[in-house]
A and B are shown apart, each in its own frame.
Chain A
Amino acid sequence: MANCYLEIVAVDRPFEFDVDDNGRTVFSINFEVVAVWPNDNLEENLVKIAQDAGVSLTLGTNAFISSTAPIPTGDGPYVFVLAQPGIGTLETHNGNKQERPSAQVLVRGKPFTAARARAFEMFRALDGVRNLQVA
């Protein structure tokens, strides 16, 4: 069952990670994910889950996936969703599998308060998601 998530759990609260070359504050949030195998679209699915929860995101405009996405120069806030390796797959004897990737959400924005607000929106939208099939 593709795009089915047993759980998305934040490992930490949003924290100030960096200031980028454009003077924008960078917040980071890390998530652990358990998804029914196969799961090939984690990045897009996390954006979609946040959109459905009311976060104002448009992929390619203020939300981006993968490290090849060009970083805009404006004040943002801009959300970047990156899949991380996670840990090994859970299996049953019957062949059922659960993949366990992790994900990092970076938010770049100016001023600090705008970046922080968007970071907490993403945190609250994604932390604690359970048993969700993304359409």
Chain B
Amino acid sequence: MAQCSGVQSGHGTTIAIELDPTGAQGVFTTIAQLNGDISWGFNRPEEDVTPHEEDIDSWVLGVFSRDPLNFGINYIFNAPTHQATTVGSSHGLLGKLRTNDCFGFRLRGPAGADGVDEWLASGQVQAFNATSPVRVGARTADCTIRASGPMLFDGELQD
């Protein structure tokens, strides 16, 4: 059965991380149990450069900037991509927050592949907020990765 062309369902978008950034580069493991919507924004900060002698505004846009990447997971304490342990060099999200590792990560669309519908960047885990409902609902965590430095959009470099 062929894929739809044009508009796509967002279901099946994945985020993958380098569990061991000290090992071979580009070895990604998909974060388990991604729930909820995944949102990542890009922008350029603005500077108002309107001179006194003009009656219309002028702006200069600054450097290409990334919003924090926020996503949710159904938290499994001993899942390799979630766990808090810092033993060894392979760390899950909470472990990476503890060690402040810088690592490669990948956001891929539902039908993404190497260099296709794929964003690659380096960054660090900035936040990990775990929730255990008292009555109804799975154990979850809201996570944030902060990108830093050059990144690739579908194989094209942005630096």
Q: Hey, which bits of chain A sit against chain B, CB under 8 A? A: 6-7, 9, 32, 34, 90-96, 98
Contact = CB atoms under 8 A, between A and B. Distances in A.
Contacts of B35: 90, 92-93
A98 B138 CA distance: 10
Contact of A94 (B32, B135, B136, B138): B32
Given A6-B138, A96-B74, 15 more contacts: A7-B136, A32-B136, A90-B35, A91-B11, A92-B34, A92-B35, A93-B11, A93-B12, A93-B14, A93-B38, A94-B14, A94-B30, A94-B33, A96-B33, A98-B138
13 contacts: A7-B136, A9-B135, A9-B136, A34-B138, A90-B35, A91-B11, A92-B74, A93-B11, A93-B12, A93-B14, A93-B35, A93-B38, A94-B30
Interface in B8-42: 11-14, 30, 32-35, 38
Interface of B: 11-14, 30, 32-35, 38, 74, 135-136, 138
A10 to B, nearest CB: 11
A80 B12 CA distance: 39
B11 to A, nearest CB: 6
Contacts of A7: 136
A9 B137 CA distance: 11
A16 to B, nearest CB: 26
Contacts of A93: 11-14, 34-35, 38
